[in-house]
Amino acid sequence: MANDKLKKVYDIIYSVFYGDKNYSVVLSEERTTEKKDDALVLFLSRGVIERKNTLETIIKSKLIKGLRIRPNTRCVLYIGAYLILYANSYRFYAAVSESVELSKEVTKDYKTVNFVLREIVRDLENKGYDKDSIRNVSVDVLYPEIKKAILEKNNKGQDRNLELLSFIYSVPYELCYLLKDNFGIKTTELVLKSFLEKKPVSLVYNSKITNKEELVAKLDNAHINYSFSCYTDEVILAEGFDLFEDFEPFKNGMLTVQDFSSYLTSKIAHVSGDEKVLDVCAAPGGKTVGIAKALKAEKKNGFVISRDISSAKVNLINENIARCGLDNVKTEVFDATLLDEKSIEKFDLVLLDVPCSGIGIIGKKPDIKYNINEQFLDDLVSLQKRIIHNAVQYVKKGGVLIYSTCTLN
C-alpha cells in the first residue's frame, strides 16, 4: 500500500505539472490535520517542483531509448529520484521501494519505476556514493557524463553553458537565456543559485495587538528559529517553519506574513493619517494591511480602497483585514484594465503592484519558472501598460503613486 504522504505529494505535483494549477493553491487544498505530515508533504512537493528539470534529465538518461512514459508514471519517477538524491531521511532502496508501491496505486507501471530508480541507485553506488556522501554534492559532479554530453552537444542556436546551468539549477533554458540577456552569465548563475537557497519567512508583527516581548515568548514556546531584521525590529525572519496558518499569533492578527519589500511600501509612503488610498491590484492584501495600520496609528480619518480582479482574490484580502482587526478598509472586485471614471483624481496615494512574471520570487514560488516564455512576457507588458494608464489617473494633483513588481527583468 502506498505511503499516504507520498500519495499527497503525487497529487500536488500532478496538479501543478499536468493540471495547470498554482502550487500554493493546490498545497492549501491538500492540507492535513497532522502538522508533521504537512511539513513533510511541503518539503517533498516543493523540492520536486524546484528540481524538476534536473530530475527529468537524470531520469531520461536511465530510460530505454525511445520509451515513452505517461504523465502519472513520470510524476512517480520525479518523486522517487528526489527521494534518492535530496531527501536525507530516505535511504536509497527505501526510496525505490516506496516509489514502486506508489506506482502500483497510481500508474500500474511499477516495472518502469523500479527499473529506472534502481538504475539511478546502481549508478551512484558504482561511482562510490552512498546516501551520506551525496549530500551537498552538485549534480554536475554526481553526473559528469551528463555534463560532458551537454557541453559536447551540437544544438544549433543553443548556448551549451546555459544548458548546463539549466541542468544544475533546474531552470528552463528559455529563462536562463532571458536572465543572461539582461545580466550576463556570471550574475545569471548567482541568480539561479539563489532560487534554490533556503530563505526565511518574513513576518511583520502588529504593535497594536502585541509587543515584542510577548511575541518573542510565543515564538520561543513554539521552538521557531527566528531573528529580527537588521533594518527594523518590526520584521521577524523565521527559518525552517512555513506552516503559519495554525500558529496562534498568526490566527489572531499578531503576525502577518509579508515580504520585506512589501513591508517597506507602508514606510516609504509616509502617510499622515488622513489620506485616501487606493490599492489597485491588492491580493493577498499585505500592502493594504500595512498602509491601513499606518493610517490607523495616526488616529485620523484615512482609509483604503482595496481592489482585485476576482471574488477569490478579494476574499484573501478580506481574510487578512479581518484577522488584523482593521475597520478602515473597503474591498471591491474590480478589473484594473478598465478605467473607473468615478475614481479619477480622487486618491492621495495609489499603490500599484502590477501582475508580473514573478522572476524575483521564484525562490518562494518555484512553479513560476515553468510558465515563463517570450509570449507570456510580451502579454504581461501589454497588460501592465493598460493598468498603469488607468492607475495614474486616480492620483490627485500633488498625490503619490507607488509602483512595484516582484520581477527582475
Measured between alpha carbons, how far is 284 from 289 in angstroms, rounded to an integer? 10
Q: 372 Cβ partners below 8 Å, 6+ apart? A: 172, 174, 175, 178, 357, 359
Highest-scoring range by mean pLDDT, 20-29, 198-207, 302-311, 352-361: 302-311
Measured between alpha carbons, how far is 296 from 272 in angstroms, rounded to an integer? 10
Considering only residues 212 and 1, tell me which one the structure prediction assigns the higher pLDDT.
212
pLDDT tens for 157-172 read: 788 999 999 999 999 9
pLDDT tens for 48-63 read: 999 999 999 999 999 9
The three three-digit cell numbers of residue 116, written as one number:
529506472
Strand partners, 203: 236, 257
Considering only residues 40 and 332, tell me which one the structure prediction assigns the higher pLDDT.
332
Considering only residues 116 and 255, tell me which one the structure prediction assigns the higher pLDDT.
116
pLDDT at site 199: 83
Asked if the model's pLDDT at residue 7 lies above 60, the reply is: yes
Asked if the model's pLDDT at residue 250 lies above 60, the reply is: yes
**In the predicted model, what is the mean pLDDT of the chain?**
89
Least confident of 117-121, 144-148, 205-209: 205-209
Q: Which of 319, 323, 324, 260 is nearest to 292 (CA)?
A: 324
Asked if the model's pLDDT at residue 64 lies above 60, the reply is: yes
pLDDT at site 33: 43
Residue 30 confidence class, pLDDT cut points 50, 70, 90: low
pLDDT at site 35: 53
Measured between alpha carbons, how far is 317 from 285 in angstroms, rounded to an integer? 5
Considering only residues 355 and 129, tell me which one the structure prediction assigns the higher pLDDT.
129
pLDDT at site 230: 86
Residue 22 confidence class, pLDDT cut points 50, 70, 90: confident
Give percent of the chain with pLDDT exceeding 70. 95
pLDDT tens for 182-202 read: 899 999 999 999 999 988 888
pLDDT at site 280: 96
- Specify whether the CB–CB gap between 293 and 326 falls below 8 A: yes
Highest-scoring range by mean pLDDT, 68-72, 237-241, 391-395: 391-395
Residue 242 confidence class, pLDDT cut points 50, 70, 90: low
Asked if the model's pLDDT at residue 154 lies above 80, the reply is: no
- Specify whether the CB–CB gap between 131 and 91 falls below 8 A: yes
pLDDT at site 89: 85
pLDDT at site 2: 62
Asked if the model's pLDDT at residue 392 lies above 90, the reply is: yes
pLDDT at site 76: 97
pLDDT at site 356: 81
pLDDT at site 363: 86
pLDDT tens for 287-328 read: 999 999 889 888 889 999 999 999 989 999 999 999 888 999
Sheet with 347-353, strands from edge to edge, namely: 329-333, 303-308, 276-279, 347-353, 395-404
Asked if the model's pLDDT at residue 36 lies above 80, the reply is: no
